[in-house]
Structure 1
Amino acid sequence: MSFWEAFVLAVVEGLTEFLPVSSTGHMIIVSSFMGIGHDEFVKMFTVNIQFGAILSVVVLYWKRFVKDIDLNFYLKLFIAFIPAAVFGFLLNDLIDSMLENVYVVAITLLLGGIVLVFIDKWINAPVGEKNMSFAQAFKIGLFQCIAMIPGVSRSAATIIGGMAQGFSRKQAAEFSFFLAVPTMAAAGGYKLLKTYDSIGAEDVKVLLFGNAVAFVVAMIAIKFFIGFLTRYGFKVFGYYRIALGLLLLALMASGYKLDIV
């Protein structure tokens, strides 16, 4: 993987990780269009580049994570993280196989887009904030498991899960950001542990560069998303997902080769 390819994927990751459009799905699509070979390093890169994105959450919410230590807060994150940890470990090979299939991404983008267009009508989220119970945190964690299917969007699944528990868009989105930290750190660490012996010195440079780019771009994306979601809801992201999903299906129906090489 070249530094240019790493830069493009990092920008895509930073922009889409915390938006309800599926960062993994977009990286698969971009990788396919750019003809990036999907070897073990590329698979590891698309997961470990998330370290940069989650670091942006810790920095932006430094007071919540580091300065004002709240054991209940960390316990709720751990409880919400458990379902993804269990299912992610059990279904790791299946998830890896789906990461190579753009058809799966196209379908989930389309279906997820339809959900986002109507979700604000289905769930009337309150404006204010309320305390989250451990049971509610666990249920949000179950929603996160849906995002193991490429194209679903982890942020969309967990935000909708939070709103379904009676939380405001802003509170649900922020908890989604917080939950991303242990979830993506575990996924990235596990993938790195499995592939570290095949990583060369040049690969390390590419990986560090990609994470740095993803960190900066994600900082901007998070600040934008909170304000936009609070004011306008999900509909715009839903229409975008539907258009992108239909475009991918049309390209594949016309014979255009989109599967990862």
Structure 2
Amino acid sequence: MDLLDAIILAIIEGITEYLPVSSTGHMIIASSFMKIASDDFTKLFTIVIQLGAILAVVVLYWKRFFQSMDFYYKLLVAFIPAVILGLLLNDVIDGLLESPLIVATSLIIGGFILLKVDDWFAANEIEDEKNPTAHTEISYATALKIGFFQCLAMIPGTSRSGASIVGGMTQKLNRKTAAEFSFFLAVPTMFGATAKKLFDYYNAGFELNSDQINYLILGNVIAFIVSLIAIKSFIDYLSKKGFKIFGYYRIVVGIALFVIHYFIFPLTTI
């Protein structure tokens, strides 16, 4: 990995982390084209720079993080499924992270789901217009169910934010509330993933050199700045327009990956 690679990946992380298009999938695709996908530091980098994206949520919603302990308890409940399944399926997940074709398949399937989500849960928004607080309450049971939906994102290309937002909407939350809870849930989830990745990296005998440390610092700064913009823009757009544009985008990107793989060059050999 060089400086330009680090900058590009950090920008991709910042843009895609909170959009329902799969940040992990996009970074697998980008790093594959850069021919650095199999590098151990690249795998570490794409996880650790999520800390910058986490900080963006804390800064934008800082008042919510000082509201009550009940807020943290619900995040903890929602986080538990990812901890359990992440530990049980760690090796399987690591293997999937090296497959652009799994990303392509997940992008397409998720895209078709997003095309229908607004219609499936239109009642949530209609009721919300009549009673602004009707679909904003999150119970512990709802938090746990959203946590299970989030686990679908262990399949690369699924999208952590997309899975958890749709999960929230199945529990009758409106789009904005579901999206914001997804953002909050990202904090413990990505912090835990980062801590585990760092532990595994050092436990495997690797050490960071000065250039790699600088790349991680720069990557987090860029991811933080870009995430600030992306979160605000996404919430405004989602509240007004819904998910369809993200569904079309996912389908187009997924199909493009298959075309590249079968008619131009095999992605697995990048």
Q: Pick the aligned partner of 2:243 from 234, 238, 251.
A: 234
Contact 1:101 1:260 in 2 (8 A): no
Q: Deviations over 1:173-209 (max 9, x none)?
A: 0000000000000001100111134222221111111
Q: Deviations over 1:28-49 (max 9, x none)?
A: 1111112225221111111111
Q: Unpaired segments of 5 or more residues in structure 1?
A: none
- Measure, in 2, the Cα distance between the counterparts of 1:189 and 1:72: 24
Following superposition of structure 1 onto structure 2, how do residues 130-149 of structure 1 map, counting pairs within 5 Å? 130-149=136-155
| Normalised TM-score (structure 1) | 0.96
Give the C-alpha shift of residue 8 in structure 1.
0.1
Hey, what does 1:158 align to over in structure 2? Answer: 164
Secondary structure at the aligned position of 2:268 is classed as coil
Contact 2:28 2:37 in 1 (8 A): no
- Percent sequence identity is 53
Q: Deviations over 1:211-235 (max 9, x none)?
A: 1100000000000000000000000
Contact 1:81 1:179 in 2 (8 A): yes
One-letter identity of the residue aligned with 1:204 = I
Between stretches 191-200 and 100-109, larger displacement belongs to: 191-200
Secondary structure at the aligned position of 1:132 is classed as coil
Is 2:26 aligned against 1:17?
no
- Measure, in 1, the Cα distance between the counterparts of 2:182 and 2:143: 10
- Measure, in 1, the Cα distance between the counterparts of 2:265 and 2:37: 17
One-letter identity of the residue aligned with 1:157 = A
- Measure, in 1, the Cα distance between the counterparts of 2:226 and 2:252: 24
Hey, what does 1:186 align to over in structure 2? Answer: 192
| Normalised TM-score (structure 2) | 0.93
Contact 1:35 1:260 in 2 (8 A): no
Contact 2:25 2:156 in 1 (8 A): yes
Give the C-alpha shift of residue 167 in structure 1.
0.6
Secondary structure at the aligned position of 2:237 is classed as helix
Hey, what does 1:93 align to over in structure 2? Answer: 91
Hey, what does 1:204 align to over in structure 2? Answer: 213
RMSD of aligned C-alpha atoms? 1.1
Give the C-alpha shift of residue 69 in structure 1.
3.6
- Measure, in 2, the Cα distance between the counterparts of 1:260 and 1:227: 40
One-letter identity of the residue aligned with 1:51 = L
Hey, what does 2:28 align to over in structure 1? Answer: 28
Q: Unpaired segments of 5 or more residues in structure 2?
A: none
Contact 1:28 1:260 in 2 (8 A): no
Alignment CA distance shift 1:37-1:173 (3 Å): closer
Hey, what does 1:218 align to over in structure 2? Answer: 227
Give the C-alpha shift of residue 253 in structure 1.
1.3
Alignment CA distance shift 1:82-1:158 (3 Å): same
- Measure, in 2, the Cα distance between the counterparts of 1:69 and 1:123: 29
Hey, what does 2:114 align to over in structure 1? Answer: 116
Give the C-alpha shift of residue 255 in structure 1.
4.4
